């Protein structure tokens, strides 16, 4: 069984972002991490590998040179091969372009199961996985929290969580695609020896030339920071003084 996990480099959510005049997000160059939901996908892939014999797990990413770091983290978590699809640092890919690049790079590799995080933390679109499935004509399911492989069937049993926490199990005939959300299984932390090995491992580089659609079906027009919300007012003094201040504020705002 061959499994492919799609991973993405995203801005570190702990670091503030800036917007350029043309509306692009510009995090600091060294403030990137692997998308946390992709870490959950890697964990599920590794659990499948550990539950049966003959399972091979590989990882793929699309991005500038710095995106190699997230791919190498996937290698440190247990992937045996990393496929890197480089694109220019200044090029902002749409979800369809990303899905097209990945699908074109892996269509002849005969993967039984493709796994992605349910969405990326920066875009939060949840579109790349289903788009890959559509391009490759694969059955797919979203929001999975665990996967099991029946020994006697060419399929996977996918436990997914829907609206209101309702859980359902879906059996997908392979080859197939599943997007993974956070569940009870926490992603493993790579050992130091695995990280050192991953940093030295050669990546499989697949050039994007001729693979991207000539006309993207969507286009990023710009971005804007969130509007500042009203700030709270702290009342000081005795209880009576606080009460008078509150009444005064309510009258000023025509609420009394």
Q: Where are the alpha helices (DSSP H) in 107-218?
A: 128-136, 192-200
Query: pLDDT tens digits, residue range 63-114?
Result: 888 889 999 999 999 999 999 999 887 777 888 889 999 999 999 999 999 9
CA atoms within 13 A on the CB side of 121: 19
Per-domain boundaries in the chain: 2-205
In which band, very low, low, confident or very high, does the pLDDT at 23 lie, cut at 50, 70 and 90? low
Asked whether residue 25 carries a pLDDT value surpassing 80, the answer given is no
In which band, very low, low, confident or very high, does the pLDDT at 5 lie, cut at 50, 70 and 90? very high
Q: What is the pTM of this model?
A: 0.79
Query: pLDDT tens digits, residue range 126-180?
Result: 889 999 999 999 999 998 989 988 888 899 999 988 777 788 999 999 999 999 9
Asked whether residue 229 carries a pLDDT value surpassing 80, the answer given is no
Judge whether 8 and 117 are in contact, CB under 8 Å: yes
- Overall fold of domain 2-205: Rossmann fold (3.40.50)
């Amino acid at each position: 069984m061959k499994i492919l996990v799609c991973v993405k480099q995203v801005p570190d959510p702990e670091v503030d972002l800036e917007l350029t005049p043309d509306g692009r997000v510009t995090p600091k160059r060294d403030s990137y991490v692997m998308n946390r939901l992709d870490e959950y996908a890697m964990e599920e892939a590794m659990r499948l590998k550990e539950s049966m014999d003959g399972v091979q797990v590989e990882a793929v990413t699309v991005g500038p040179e710095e995106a190699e770091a997230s791919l190498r983290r996937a290698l440190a978590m247990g992937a045996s091969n990393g496929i890197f699809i480089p694109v220019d640092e200044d090029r902002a890919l749409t979800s369809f372009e990303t899905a097209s690049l990945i699908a074109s790079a892996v269509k002849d590799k005969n993967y039984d199961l493709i796994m992605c995080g349910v969405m990326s933390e920066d875009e939060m679109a949840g579109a790349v996985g289903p788009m890959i499935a559509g391009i490759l004509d694969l059955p797919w399911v979203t929001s999975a929290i665990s996967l099991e492989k029946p020994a006697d069937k060419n399929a996977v049993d996918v436990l997914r969580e829907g609206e209101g926490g309702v859980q359902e199990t879906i059996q997908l005939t392979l080859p197939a695609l599943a997007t993974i959300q956070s569940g009870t299984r926490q992603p493993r932390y790579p050992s130091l020896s695995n990280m050192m090995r991953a940093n030295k491992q050669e990546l499989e580089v697949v050039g994007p030339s001729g693979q991207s659609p000539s006309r993207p079906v969507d286009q990023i027009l710009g971005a804007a920071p969130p509007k500042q919300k009203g700030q709270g007012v702290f009342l000081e003094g005795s209880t009576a003084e606080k009460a008078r201040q509150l009444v005064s504020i309510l009258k000023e705002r025509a609420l009394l």
